[in-house]
Structure 1
């Protein structure tokens, strides 16, 4: 599984179930991390033993059941609600609100389908003036079907001639379609549930719209992943030393060309970006020696700013004089 597939599966499970669980596997001899496994259980249950230690019990589709210490599992949740562990109403997720909207949307689509079908059905009635026997009715119907079939197949038309003994009575078929505003409202309501706007969904977003999407949806997920993986994979000593696992997202990759160039001009002069980092931002390959950081001479250490400005010397150490 590639890193892309791994993150894709984790986030998909989180959005579907409001919870996602990752099992980190360590080498029993060296303690080194071997792999990370996104779990897809059918049911999840919290078990508390007599010493108040929390365990998590998984039931999988093949019938296997595993009970593991809760602290050994990386757990991400989407909401916090009635359940202290899983948030919401449980580990399986509660999508009642969005399911109602999807059901309404499906009903509207079926209505459109039925309206289209009804518009292609009977347009009128041919009334035969006079009393006809069942045999004559059958004969007239066959003649009508034959004339209609011949008109469609040879002339590409559904218009047929009728004589004075027949009378055509048109039927007023007026199928009602759903207005555009209603359909757009339902679509946006479904997308809003997942924090996605219509421009993002259709890939027709501006730079400002993407920045808004990043800050409201992508960045919170990145922060949540970073914190959960740090707690799940690092020891208490590592956490106390300030070590952490960070999920970075290359936000500037989606910026406009002008924004990228401006960022490079500003950040390179401060020594924040290297040559290769700047080239990568522009979609260029790295170069040899490109990991150097260049800095403008127009900047000075704040502690030495006064000395630089007035030309005073640094005080000498009396022990070294």
Structure 2
């Protein structure tokens, strides 16, 4: 009877099903920190509406990056990058998750997935531990990942992809996004002030001056009787009072909220921190604005992600022989039709792009033969320029001129035939 393969009981087991290291020699010592570590930030950066919108906008654009694998050292892992790096995420979801984690925590960790033999590399998974600490294991750097489920795992540094932002104080990890705390607190205070203003504005309050001194019981009863007139059931909307009160005045509620200029400064502070702007977040960016955002934000992310995946996938020898992972994007999707046409024509005529790549720019389907590269006839290889002398060029030009003249007067092009006609004419 065939033995059934044991089922993994959780996603944790699926990702870390190999034999784990448990014995460590102590914290890994670096230049700047005796105990290098980072903790997932819980300050609410992803819970604020503005900062989440900024991160989500950038993640959406980053998710359109396309993996490009070059070299001969192909594997199951690099093949998985095309559509599904792990069983739970497609490639756009994978890239989007990494971008989001990097923006929120200034550090993103990518773990390699292995087959049951714990040797065959088959994919990638971005993990989000609550804490990551560097340890020395037999003289080598290992990372201990602690998860909110109270589970922990040790992983070799060489097998982990680590992406960072704002890396200064730590030799291994990003410095964190706590610098954004003042901006988050101002945004929270603004939200609270608006909510309180709405709540206070929903109530009508009065202050009344009693006509004479009364005891506490009489004052409370007078106030209660007057308040009954403020009940929503009072359809007439008129409140009256008698001689018990000398005067009654309505209290106008006033709550402090940040004015438009101050709010604009708060928003710009968040935009500066994440390297974006309002037009990109609201999907109003034109060609120039988006290109600036791509080069300053998305492209830097794409370059780092490519290097990180390359380093954790290939050996030094494989990298030296041209094996590489990189990510590209078709920025021309945001260009005007005039720009698309100009760029496509220039690159297609010079044989840099094929027909299908031009079709991609205009969101058109690929066609048969579109993978071929062509080049305009008047271009010449620089290495062959010596074979085309000035005399040859002049002779070719004269021949072309004679042919054109013959076509105009209707004379035959063949020299022998031309000679016979001349004799007959004589």
2: distance between equivalents of 1:187 and 1:98? 12
CA-to-aligned-CA distance 1:122-143 (integer Å, 9 cap, x gap)? 4543445467788876776566
Q: What is the TM-score when the length of structure 1 is the normalising length?
A: 0.82
1: distance between equivalents of 2:227 and 2:131? 60
Partner of 1:295: 375
Q: Which residues of 2 match residues 4-83 of structure 1 at below 5 A?
A: 4-27=92-115, 32-50=120-138, 52-83=139-170
Partner of 1:318: none
Partner-residue secondary structure (3-state), 1:82 = coil
CA contact under 8 A between 1:6 and 1:38: conserved in structure 2? yes
RMSD over aligned Cα, in angstroms?
Answer: 3.0
CA contact under 8 A between 1:112 and 1:178: conserved in structure 2? no
Q: What is the TM-score when the length of structure 2 is the normalising length?
A: 0.63
CA contact under 8 A between 2:190 and 2:258: conserved in structure 1? yes
Q: Structure 1 residue 212 and structure 2 residue 300: aligned?
A: no
Q: Structure 1 residue 113 and structure 2 residue 201: aligned?
A: no
CA-to-aligned-CA distance 1:57-115 (integer Å, 9 cap, x gap)? 22223333322321122222223222212243xxxxx2221022101221122223223
Partner of 1:258: 338
Partner of 1:319: none
1: distance between equivalents of 2:172 and 2:230? 69
1: distance between equivalents of 2:200 and 2:154? 57
Structure ranking higher on relative contact order (CA contacts 8 Å, 6+ apart):
2
2:179 to 97, 117, 121: 97
Partner of 1:197: 277
2:173 to 65, 86, 104: 86
2: distance between equivalents of 1:134 and 1:20? 65
Partner of 2:355: 275
Distance 1:31 1:301, change over 3 A: farther
Structure 1 residue 297 displacement after superposition? 1.5
1: distance between equivalents of 2:341 and 2:143? 50
CA contact under 8 A between 2:102 and 2:163: conserved in structure 1? yes
Structure 1 residue 19 displacement after superposition? 1.7
1: distance between equivalents of 2:354 and 2:314? 29
CA-to-aligned-CA distance 1:233-275 (integer Å, 9 cap, x gap)? 1122221112211111222222222221222121111112222
2: distance between equivalents of 1:136 and 1:53? 82
Partner of 2:316: 236
CA contact under 8 A between 1:119 and 1:175: conserved in structure 2? no
CA contact under 8 A between 1:222 and 1:248: conserved in structure 2? yes
CA contact under 8 A between 2:106 and 2:177: conserved in structure 1? no
| Number of residue pairs aligned between Structure 1 and Structure 2 | 304
Distance 1:312 1:47, change over 3 A: farther
Unpaired segments of 5 or more residues in structure 1?
A: 89-93, 314-321
CA contact under 8 A between 2:107 and 2:162: conserved in structure 1? yes
Name the stretch that deviates more: 257-266 or 208-217: 257-266
Structure 1 residue 31 displacement after superposition? 5.9
CA contact under 8 A between 1:227 and 1:245: conserved in structure 2? yes
2: distance between equivalents of 1:286 and 1:168? 79
Unpaired segments of 5 or more residues in structure 2?
A: 1-88, 394-426
Partner-residue secondary structure (3-state), 2:162 = strand
